[in-house]
């Protein structure tokens, strides 16, 4: 009698086949800036209902990330240190963009992907030179040097697609671009760069420059620089005092255009996508705008998930750099202490498909150090199961993006 060999992971006998290690060609990394577990739960109730699920929560693999920085003066991270941990695999101090604790530049995933021949891109509703996208494509000891970050994009890391806000940092003071200096909605905004006219430089370098949805839609092939606002693509003032979430081009549209552009590279791509509004409006304890921002993030995740579903060699990861606001989802209870200022309750907010509502309670106007959820799909996604330091993101993504030896 011949005994059947033990099946391997592929279903074939171990004696004749070996399980293949998962491989990925593309990476889509999505950051809900300031998005902790409670923000995802509030969005789930508001957008999907009591028993519903968000697209970002339907990804098959889930885990947690810790976010503590390596900062002698802080135990709670900012976006710069958190994104540096993702992009370089090393902890650093708050305010640092992909430099170590001594200020030395570190290799970034964006640069590694480019060296491997992959196309690269970033999409954000913040300034394209803000901390989170910058950490993947630049090195500076001070996140505030956004004009220097823009210069490095053009001279060093050269992302193929750059879409978001922040035109002010690409133009010298006194040289207004598509968006006028001192606009009525925020008179503090205006061109402020110190590196010359970087938009003109980008155009000379082969980028097609666009400033509205119509021109973005027409942009085909090649490199694209789209700047759709002076600074962030929204106004984050306190509720009822000029707070507006109405980006000139929504995050899902920018994500879709980026994917269509980067997809043309036969060696694959790395795309970093960010919704900044979750963080900024949570700083203002503005639940209405946080939920709007979460809705736009969810739509962008749906675009990315649809792409990943038809391109199974794509790793899709959705997480947050830190939690903002100490947000909690509560029952509507008039007997509960509502507090004042940053401890005030916010709401009530509707639950999709229900006549019930919920309240958001805030504990701070700053960041907190709670773990953030991470969900993933595609090759290597299973590596995100469990609890890891945020530097672990780099450990996984670098397996896809680092140049092959």
Q: Name the E strands within 310-399.
A: 314-319, 323-324, 328-330, 345-350, 357-361, 367-368, 372-377, 386-389
Burial of 213 (C-beta count, 10 Å sphere; 0-12/13-18/19+)? middle
Q: How far apart are CA 270 and CA 158, in angstroms?
A: 13
Label the pairing between strands 357-361 and 345-350.
antiparallel
CB-based contact 170:193 (threshold 8 Å): yes
33 is in an annotated binding site: yes
Selected catalytic residue, list 79, 98, 191, 284? 79
What gap in Å lies between CA 368 and CA 380, rounded to an integer? Answer: 29
- Please answer whether residues 261 and 307 qualify as being in contact, where contact means their C-beta atoms are separated by less than 8 angstroms: no
Confirm or deny that 147 is annotated as ligand binding.
no
H/E stretch holding 394 reads: helix 392-401
* Residue 321 labeled ligand binder: yes
| DSSP bridge pairs for 61 | 376
Residue 287: other Cβ atoms inside 10 A:
26
Known catalytic membership, residue 293: no
H/E element, 210: strand 207-210
- Helix intervals (H) in 267-345: 277-283, 287-310
**279 is known to lie in a ligand binding site:** yes
Q: Does 333 carry a binding-site annotation?
A: no
74: number of Cβ within 10 Å: 16
Confirm whether residue 132 is marked as ligand binding: yes
367 annotated to bind ligand:
yes
Can you say which residues are annotated as belonging to the binding site? 33, 130, 132, 274, 279, 283, 321-322, 367
Which residues are tagged catalytic?
79
Can you say which residues are annotated as belonging to the binding site for Zn(2+)? 33, 279, 283, 321-322, 367
Can you say which residues are annotated as belonging to the binding site for Mg(2+)? 33, 130, 132, 274
């Amino acid at each position: 009698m011949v005994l059947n060999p033990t099946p391997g992971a592929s279903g074939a006998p171990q004696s004749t086949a070996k399980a293949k290690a998962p491989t990925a060609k593309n990476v889509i990394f999505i950051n809900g800036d300031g998005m902790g577990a409670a923000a995802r739960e509030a969005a789930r109730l508001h957008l999907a209902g009591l028993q519903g699920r968000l697209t970002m929560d339907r990804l098959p693999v889930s885990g947690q990330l810790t976010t503590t920085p390596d900062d002698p003066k802080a135990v709670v991270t900012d976006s710069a240190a958190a994104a540096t941990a993702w992009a370089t695999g090393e902890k650093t101090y708050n305010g640092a963009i992909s430099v170590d604790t001594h200020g030395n530049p570190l290799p970034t995933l964006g640069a590694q992907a480019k060296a491997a021949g992959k196309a690269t891109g970033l999409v954000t509703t913040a300034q394209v030179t803000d901390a989170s996208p910058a950490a993947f494509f630049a090195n500076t000891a001070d996140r505030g040097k956004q004009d220097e970050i823009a210069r490095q994009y053009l001279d060093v890391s050269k992302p193929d697609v750059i879409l978001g806000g922040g035109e002010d940092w690409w133009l010298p003071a006194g040289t207004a671009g598509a968006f006028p200096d001192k606009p009525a909605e925020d008179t503090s905004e205006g061109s402020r760069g110190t590196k010359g006219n970087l938009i003109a430089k980008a155009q000379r370098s082969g980028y097609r420059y666009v400033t509205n949805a119509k021109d973005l839609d027409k942009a085909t092939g090649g490199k694209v620089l789209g700047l759709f606002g002076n600074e962030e693509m929204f106004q984050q003032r306190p509720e009822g005092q000029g707070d507006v979430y109405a980006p000139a081009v929504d995050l899902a549209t920018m994500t879709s255009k980026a994917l269509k552009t980067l997809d043309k590279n036969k060696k694959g791509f790395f795309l970093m996508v960010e919704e900044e509004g979750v963080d900024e409006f949570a700083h203002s304890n503005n639940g209405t705008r946080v939920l709007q921002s979460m809705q736009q993030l969810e739509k962008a995740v749906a675009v990315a998930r649809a792409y990943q579903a038809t391109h199974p060699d794509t790793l899709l990861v959705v997480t947050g750099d830190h939690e903002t606001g100490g947000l909690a989802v509560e029952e509507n209870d008039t007997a509960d202490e509502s507090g004042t200022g940053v401890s005030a309750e916010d709401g009530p907010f509707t639950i999709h498909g229900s006549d019930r509502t919920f309240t958001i309670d805030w504990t701070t106007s700053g960041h907190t150090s709670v773990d953030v959820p991470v969900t993933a799909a595609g090759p290597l996604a299973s590596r995100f199961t469990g609890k890891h330091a945020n530097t672990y993101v780099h450990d996984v993504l670098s397996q896809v993006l680092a140049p092959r030896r």
